[in-house]
Structure formats: structure tokens, C-alpha cells
Structure 1
Amino acid sequence: MQYATYENTVEKLKKHDITLHDIAVIAYDSEASYVPNLTIVQVEEALVSILHKRVVQHQIWVALELDRLAEAHLLESPLQDLIDNDDALFGVDETLGTAIAMSFDTIGVTNYGYIDKIKVGLVGELDRKGKTTSAVTTFADDIVGALAAAAASKVAHKYATNIVASDKHLAK
């Protein structure tokens, strides 16, 4: 039995045209104004750390596999139709996304909700791709948003002491 690994997870993301850099850019944009001197490398390191969590790997694998099966028309209706059309009331895609984001405290969930709502960067690209082509990206866009939110949250937690110190300086 082959278990999920970081390398396998990154490979599965690549097969869906999802790069770690594109995810990190979303997270960076979310946190750069809060963390002075933040670098994209620091955000990428946070993302890599998140992708080493087995539960996150499993959630990614399930999500991307459901997109693949739907794209190949291998699911039974009504599930096939719900995923094909990224039905607004389906919500299972957001549930998997929320589970990933929740791994990093409530800030992860609020970051994810914001990213999912405004569809920034690769999240928006995947969402539009799913609506304008035969590709199914119902879960992929939510996974990207959740990973970006989790990475932003991890950065926020790591540098929280710097942010608090900076806020105290501003209050004087």
C-alpha cells in the first residue's frame, strides 16, 4: 500500500496545473501588509510545511480525484451534475477547503472565506477554467484557496510577536 507523501501530493497538484509558487503568491499577498519584510520564500516554506501534513495530503488527493472522476464522467448522477456545474449549494468542495484551512486556527478559516469569495490569483483562474472549458475544477480552486489561507495563517502565527510589537509601537 502506497501512502500519501509530500512528493506525490505536489505531483498531483502539478497535474492540475497548480504550482506551489502560485499558491504562495496568494498567501503572500494576504499577509505582506501585516508582516514587514515578509518574503515569498518564507511563505513557500510555510506552504511546504503544510503539505507535509498527512491529513492535508489526504484532503488534496480526495478533492483532486473527485474533479478527475467528474471530468471523465465516471460519477453517478446527481453527484456528476453537481460537480460538473460547481453547483453553488453543493458545498462539499468548501467543506474540504475549510478542513484544510481550519488546521491553522480560525484565521485560516477567515482567510479561506475571503480568498474563496474574491477568487484571487490561481483560485480565480481555476474557477473560470471550470466554467469556460470542459475541465472540472470544482474542488481544485477550493484546495488552492485553502492552502493559501493555511500558509498565510501559518505565517501570521509565526510572526505574530512581530505584529503585536509593531501594533504597540503604533499605539504610542
Structure 2
Amino acid sequence: MKDIVIKMLKDRGVNLLDIAKLVYDLQIKYGPLTMDDCLYSINKVLEKREVQHAILTGVVLDIYAEKNLLPEPLLDILKRDEPLYGIDEVLALSITNVYGTIGLTSFGYLDKEKLGILKDLNDPKNGVHTFLDDLVAGIAAAASARIAHSKKH
């Protein structure tokens, strides 16, 4: 299933290197780090079944909204990325929760700042990515937290 979600991400315009850049930005100030470290951590996060399920669910909802296959008022809410909807963030937080509160704070930072690929995903002209932007931020935050937890202090 990991290969399926990686393909889903790629089909929606996100590759693992895009996510690795976010992880790198989150963790580089805390010690030596390579892009390979970031990619390794992302791959470990993507091995988790609950992460795979969150990605599958969110990406499919985005695709269905883009194709007008959802009922109203949900269709309009997702197409507009309604700020008070919040379910997109809740789904992404299920990813960050796997690695504790550091993932939560990193997710909040990424969600607010819209760094890298997140900026592109938030542009409505690039399609409906109501869930995907938060899922990508969740993956990056979890991978970053995983790295932080692995460092010896």
C-alpha cells in the first residue's frame, strides 16, 4: 500500500523530495542533516498503515471534489477550502500524532507558513488540494518529529 500512496501523491503533483525539503527546513537548525536522512524518515512514516489510510482518504476526497462527484454542501466546502471546515487538518493531525507533540507544533508552523510545495498546493488554480496540502504538511511534520526523537541529547 505504501507504493500506492506514493503514486497517489506523485499523481497529484507531490514527490517525496518536495516533502524532504520541508523536513530539512524544519530540522536543519538542530544538527547535521542530509536530504537522504529526510527521505529515509519520510519513508518510515509512509510505512505506517494509519498514515496510508489518511492519505488515501484525503486524496480521494480531493479528487472527487475536483470532479464534482460529492454532494452539496460538501462539494462547495472542499472546492473553496472553507477555513472553518477543519476536517482536513484533523485528518492530517492523525499522521503527526504518531510521533507526539513535536509533530503537532511543526504541523502548525507548516500550515501557517505554507513553505515550498505547500504554497503551490494552496493555489486554487492548481486544483482542489483541500486535504493534500495538510496531508503533506502532516507527513513532513511527522518525519521531522521522527528525526528529532532519534537524536541523542
With normalisation by structure 2, the TM-score equals 0.97
Please state if 1:8 is matched with 2:4. Answer: yes
The percent of aligned pairs where both chains have the same amino acid is 37
Match of 1:53 in 2: 48
Please state if 1:139 is matched with 2:131. Answer: yes
Q: Summarize deviations over 1:60-107 as a string: whole Å, max 9, x none.
A: 000000000000001001100000000000001000111111111000
Specify the SS of the correspondent of 2:30. Answer: coil
Correspondent of 1:122 among 117, 120, 129:
117
Please state if 1:154 is matched with 2:149. Answer: no
Question: Which runs of no fewer than 5 residues in structure 2 stay unpaired?
Answer: none
- The alpha-carbon deviation at position 125 of structure 1 amounts to 1.0
Correspondent of 2:73 among 63, 70, 78:
78
Root mean square deviation of aligned Cα = 0.8
Question: Which runs of no fewer than 5 residues in structure 1 stay unpaired?
Answer: 165-172
CA distance in 2, matches of 1:93, 1:22: 20
Match of 1:24 in 2: 20
Match of 2:97 in 1: 102
Match of 1:169 in 2: none
- The alpha-carbon deviation at position 124 of structure 1 amounts to 1.2
Residue type matched to 1:124 in 2?
A: K
Q: Which has the larger radius of gyration?
A: 1
Residue type matched to 1:144 in 2?
A: V
- The alpha-carbon deviation at position 115 of structure 1 amounts to 0.3
Residue type matched to 2:107 in 1?
A: Y
Residue type matched to 1:142 in 2?
A: D
Specify the SS of the correspondent of 1:103. Answer: helix
Q: Summarize deviations over 1:116-147 as a string: whole Å, max 9, x none.
A: 0110111111001xx235x1111110011110
With normalisation by structure 1, the TM-score equals 0.87
Q: Summarize deviations over 1:15-61 as a string: whole Å, max 9, x none.
A: 101100100110111000112x2111011000000101111001000
Residue type matched to 2:137 in 1?
A: G
Specify the SS of the correspondent of 1:7. Answer: helix
CA distance in 1, matches of 2:52, 2:125: 28
